[in-house]
Structure 1
């Protein structure tokens, strides 16, 4: 029998979450962000569930080509653009759109024999990660148009803190910086990530770029996915593979981080940090065993973790375990582990079988 750790991918939840995006931004086209294997959910099965989306955005050139070869005709945007002039032929052949965020990319375009790409010019409005200097944008647009390097130009930026209500002023500053640049240009624009889609309608513009909300997790620390009517797409499951009886004083796992203070029963689950479960998830992180609330005990191992079975009814080897999903939010597990749902979903290991349902 194969190892029981599996991730079930609910395609109907993906389509529901897309409908929530459209509810918030009814006048914008939707560029679904499917980078990192669709946040760990599987690129092609995610694209199939989102087949009526207006476009896809990702980082990996081979994944973009896979989407195009699978028959998707929508715009496909590479969020870091191209990295060499050799890649430009592939961009042209597969009709891929490129983010331009650095003068070196412009130099590659000007020197290439593969012009007429759809370009998204990324403007650095304050995040200081990727992006062109605002005062250089007009000059760059003139260069590209003069040298016939683009079919279409879209102007874009990315918010640093749209998910943090205390950073409202920072978001508005970025928005104002962007508007100062684009008001003199008749080009489409794209600004809003998941958090901005829900909190800053003035940022919706021509394209919105939802990521985490499509997968049913919340971009906010103070609002749950359920609060936002988002449905979890991934349910990570496994099974009990061993059961032990402990007496008071017995320790559990590496370094004995958990010690029983009374007789208790524990179960070993076939899932660990090599599967993508967070190593730093502490004792008392919630787990569902046999459809009953339980908790983690001790340190997560590479391939296994330990759960409390003391008050769990009818449990035995092969009893089902849910680590996150519909019953236990990935956001809660991430919060307990001191990380984000983005990291947990993207960190799902290739060895975990993904099953569309």
Structure 2
């Protein structure tokens, strides 16, 4: 028998979450963001469940080609653009839309001889200072691109550094509006947080990412608990050993946890090599046989110790939810000093995945 850990992908939840985005932004087209192998869920596993989207947005050109090979014919957006001028022929061949954020990319487009033009997203740096042109350059660049035969439809975009912060959104949108004045093109600025909390940012295309997978774009599940969004990934395992600790005895590496009384504990087949956060402290929530309890001691490569005081009925083989439908990934991430995005993306390839 195989090790009892499993990640379950709920395809009905994916469909529901996409429909919620559609209802929140009914006048906008949707780029479903599936970068980082669909946030750890697996592009091949999830794209058909998201096929009601208007387009997919991702980073890697190989992921884009995979989608085309799988049968996806609608738009695909490359969120970091192209990385080499030779890529432009591939973008044309597979009908890919690309972000342009750097002057060298404009030069590559000038030199390109393509049978038909590419659709372009022109990225404005409104303050995040990762990718994009300064607002003062945009009008000049816009008109440069409009003159190129290799450039087709132009869309303006930017990205919020902290879209859960209303004041920042106001400042970004003021800068964006000033920059894009008199430029006749579509607009895409709303990420997951902006979709949920700032309807004035929806415009022509929205770009949902983490909310498609049923987690909060902030660090807190409570921020979306009334949204109807449903967790897509559930990480389950089982108890593989039981220990009875006497007062003063420890469990795990470095004796990080010592029992202050007689204590019934379980050892779960899951660890940081499976993608569980190594820094999760004692007290991180888990569910055993439907009862919420907590981890104790250090997280090992392959095992986690959990307190069974609240669930004395637990035995070897008892079910454990590490995160998912009941134990929210945001809560595990927050107490571990990280974010839900990282936990999703960190799911190990050694964990078997089941499609529900």
| TM-score interval, normalised by the smaller of the two chains | over 0.9
How far does the alpha carbon of each residue in 1:60-99 deviate from its partner, in whole angstroms, 9 at most, with x for none?
1111110111111111001001100121121111111111
TM-score normalised per structure 1:
0.96
How far does the alpha carbon of each residue in 1:260-308 deviate from its partner, in whole angstroms, 9 at most, with x for none?
1111121111111111111111101111112222210001111111111
Find the counterpart in structure 1 of residue 126 from structure 2. Answer: 125
Work out the number of aligned pairs and report it.
354
Cα distance in 1 for residues equivalent to 2:167 and 2:217:
18
Cα distance in 2 for residues equivalent to 1:337 and 1:330:
11
TM-score normalised per structure 2:
0.96
SS of residue in 1 equivalent to 2:86: helix
How far does the alpha carbon of each residue in 1:143-199 deviate from its partner, in whole angstroms, 9 at most, with x for none?
2222212121111000111123xxx22211111111112221111010000111111
SS of residue in 1 equivalent to 2:130: coil
Find the counterpart in structure 1 of residue 186 from structure 2. Answer: 188
Runs (4 or more) in structure 1 with deviation over 6 Å come to: none
Q: In the alignment, is the contact (CA less than 8 A) between 1:58 and 1:78 conserved in 2?
A: yes
Find the counterpart in structure 2 of residue 63 from structure 1. Answer: 63
Q: Out of 135-144 and 256-265, give the one that drifted further.
A: 135-144
Cα distance in 2 for residues equivalent to 1:331 and 1:299:
20
1:37 aligns with 2:37: yes
SS of residue in 1 equivalent to 2:13: helix
SS of residue in 2 equivalent to 1:7: strand
> Where does 1:261-272 land on structure 2 (aligned, <5 Å)?
261-272=260-271
Find the counterpart in structure 2 of residue 136 from structure 1. Answer: 137
Q: In the alignment, is the contact (CA less than 8 A) between 1:225 and 1:231 conserved in 2?
A: no
SS of residue in 1 equivalent to 2:154: strand
Q: In the alignment, is the contact (CA less than 8 A) between 2:264 and 2:312 conserved in 1?
A: no
Find the counterpart in structure 2 of residue 149 from structure 1. Answer: 150
Structure 1: state its 5+ residue gaps. none
Structure 2: state its 5+ residue gaps. none
Q: In the alignment, is the contact (CA less than 8 A) between 1:7 and 1:237 conserved in 2?
A: yes
Find the counterpart in structure 2 of residue 163 from structure 1. Answer: 164
User: What is the CA distance between 1:221 and its match in structure 2?
Assistant: 4.0
Find the counterpart in structure 1 of residue 242 from structure 2. Answer: 243
> Where does 1:38-117 land on structure 2 (aligned, <5 Å)?
38-114=38-114, 116-117=117-118
Cα distance in 2 for residues equivalent to 1:232 and 1:286:
16
Find the counterpart in structure 1 of residue 199 from structure 2. Answer: 201
